[in-house]
Structure 1
Amino acid sequence: MSFMGRSTSDSIGSLSDLPADSWMSHLPSALWDMPLCNLAIPGSHNTITYCLDKNDRSPVDLAQPDVLQTLDKYMKPLIRPFVYKWAMAQETSVKEQLDCGVRYCDLRIARRPNDNSAHLYFYHGVYTTVTVEAVLTEIREWLDMHPREVVILSFSHFLELNLDCHNLLIQTIKDVFVSKLCPKTEPITLRNLWQLGYQVIVSYEHNIKNIHNELWSHIPYWWANKCKAEALIEEFEKRRKQQGRPGGFYVTGINLTEDLKYICSHPTESLKDLVMSTYPVLLEWVKGLCPGSNPGSINIIAGDFVSESHLVPTVIALNEKLLNWI
């Protein structure tokens, strides 16, 4: 198949109407030579939390509040239901997230305590039931069926991983994706990636990346640490004015943060209740953002429960604004 012709979407109105599972391949051809870090790309925060192990009795990870860790230690049957309700940030599988248009995945890797196997897992408070290799294989199989789509995999948090575990993880990444991995020496535009057959960009937040040509540097993730949409927006607007935008890829994470005070004052709610109630305000703000290379521009926008919201088409539609500058 030739990639040099016009995109089928050149005559389409809103980019939000593009097929969600193949929106990159349907972008107007005017965007094919634009650096990928200047496009608006939808992502998911804590991508692999749809399969948390409800039978897991390991201590909650150290990222959780101290009080929650203490209560979990001595009152596990009472506290664990709260942990699950507030740790799950996505309800759909990684394949379903990719089908709905997600192209950035936030991956947090862990070695389960007292597990003598070679398997690695994902975690957010507690561990997942699926292994890292199984999820990466699922992504590769999806990419096989979508040869002009590109995913950015951010390996950003590591729990209980020693050097041997990092070597195992990196070898697994290489074995699963093989020739789909884009080396960090390549210009990142859709046209270039299509022509060379690259579909996977791996960001790795560890010094070991320096000896692997397939691993890109850590992608900055802007996180507001707020539990209200208005406060999150205010924080990001302040940061954009003061700092501009980082060079290359970067993420604006519109994920809200629940603290112990909020959880205790909303005992019947869950993270999903909090997130979905604030999406109308957040999406209205997102509609006013612009991708590109200017100081205030955005690139990747990641959120929770992306398959149940309108975040993905809203972010994709932002790329229409780039057409006015070409």
Structure 2
Amino acid sequence: MSSVKTTGFNGSLRDLPTDNWMSHLPGALWDVPLCNLAIPGSHNTVTYCLDRNDRSPVDPKQPDLLRKLDKYMKPLIRPFVYKWSITQEYDVKEQLDAGVRYFDLRIARRPNDRSSDLYFYHGVFTTVTVETVLKEIREWLDSHPREVAILSFSHFLGLNQELHHLLVETIKNVFITKLCPKTVSTNLSNLWHLGYQAIVSYDNGIVNRYEELWAPIPYWWANKYRADLLIEELECRKQRGRPGGFFVAGINLTEDLKYICSHPTESLKDLVMSTYPELLEWVKAQSPGSSAGSINIIAGDFVTERQLVPIVIALNENLLNWAQ
């Protein structure tokens, strides 16, 4: 193994093939824990297939006024909900091909659904089931045996304990031997040796009952609609120190009802694209590692746009001097 590590990629990490960037990292980074690498992620990963015909109530986490308007003026309000709920336009395989390795998966049961099917949601429910998407991820991993996906399950809506256990069994049945137990050291060398490709964090109390489930991954959410305020909040978080394991710096902006009403012809993508240049300058200045001011996963909306993924991958060059 050590003789292989002396070879590796000699150019800029920004030029790595995005569909296989982990396997092409320089050998000096193979023993660095994944929680100390810079990893691209997608916020609200599965919103590329929201159901345009969904007439379910807007989820409880949306603003109260919006939920009331949706209840009594659904034909008028629902198009606004839809275009401000889409955070990604590419499906999960396309995101994987683009280099995304962290996935923010928000799980829900449709109201009045008598089946055990679960869906994703962000204001609106998706047309595809959770099991379908997990199988797509598994198929992709099968064809990319040295890449690793970090799957974060959270924001559960309408799930009882029976459905939680059913979801966990689905996860186990889909990924089988690829599922990494929480006791395993997560550097690439070790994961490749053991054949593990899926790390699953689960934000529910049952996480302690399964060795295959990792603790919830902290997500630094600024809750701002302006890039400068978001950056200011993330810098404050960095000064307090980084968590000991995986964590996410979210560069996703938050729109509120006042902003939406004052920009009726826009969408969330319009807001995000207008702020990406400033956000990317902040990203370029970051460094991964284990120190207090370092970053790990950087997740955003519309992550296949504006070269965010290659920029995040290239941050790992900052680790090469001490890792070699």
Structure 1 residues 1-326: aligned runs within 5 Å: 5-6=4-5, 9-11=8-10, 13-241=11-239, 243-326=240-323
Q: Is the 8 A contact 1:120 1:131 kept in 2?
A: yes
1:9 Cα deviation from its structure 2 partner: 3.7
Q: Is the 8 A contact 1:290 1:318 kept in 2?
A: yes
- SS of 2:304's equivalent in the other structure is helix
Q: In 2, distance between residues paired with 1:98 and 1:132?
A: 17
- SS of 1:240's equivalent in the other structure is helix
Q: In 1, distance between residues paired with 2:53 and 2:276?
A: 31
1:127 Cα deviation from its structure 2 partner: 0.3
1:266 Cα deviation from its structure 2 partner: 0.3
User: Over aligned residue pairs, what C-alpha RMSD do you find?
Assistant: 1.1
Q: In 2, distance between residues paired with 1:102 and 1:26?
A: 15
Change (3 A) 1:170 1:158: same
Q: In 1, distance between residues paired with 2:149 and 2:300?
A: 16
Q: Is the 8 A contact 1:226 1:232 kept in 2?
A: yes
Deviations 1:299-318 (A, max 9, x none): 00000001122110010000
Q: Is the 8 A contact 1:8 1:26 kept in 2?
A: no
Change (3 A) 1:7 1:269: farther
Q: Which runs of 5+ in 2 are unaligned?
A: none
Q: In 2, distance between residues paired with 1:139 and 1:64?
A: 29
1:292 Cα deviation from its structure 2 partner: 0.1
Q: In 2, distance between residues paired with 1:123 and 1:70?
A: 19
1:8 Cα deviation from its structure 2 partner: 6.0
Q: Report sequence identity in percent.
A: 74
Counterpart residue identity of residue 241, structure 2: G
Q: In 2, distance between residues paired with 1:188 and 1:137?
A: 23
Q: In 1, distance between residues paired with 2:87 and 2:158?
A: 22
Counterpart residue identity of residue 55, structure 1: N
1:286 Cα deviation from its structure 2 partner: 0.5
Q: In 2, distance between residues paired with 1:141 and 1:181?
A: 14
Q: Is the 8 A contact 1:45 1:255 kept in 2?
A: yes
Change (3 A) 1:4 1:59: farther
Q: Is the 8 A contact 2:220 2:237 kept in 1?
A: no
Q: In 2, distance between residues paired with 1:7 and 1:18?
A: 17
Q: Is the 8 A contact 2:179 2:196 kept in 1?
A: yes
Q: In 2, distance between residues paired with 1:172 and 1:4?
A: 40
User: TM-score under structure 2 normalisation?
Assistant: 0.98
Q: In 1, distance between residues paired with 2:40 and 2:132?
A: 23
Q: In 1, distance between residues paired with 2:295 and 2:102?
A: 14
Runs of 4+ in 1 over 4 A off after TM superposition: none
1:7 Cα deviation from its structure 2 partner: 7.4
1:117 Cα deviation from its structure 2 partner: 1.3
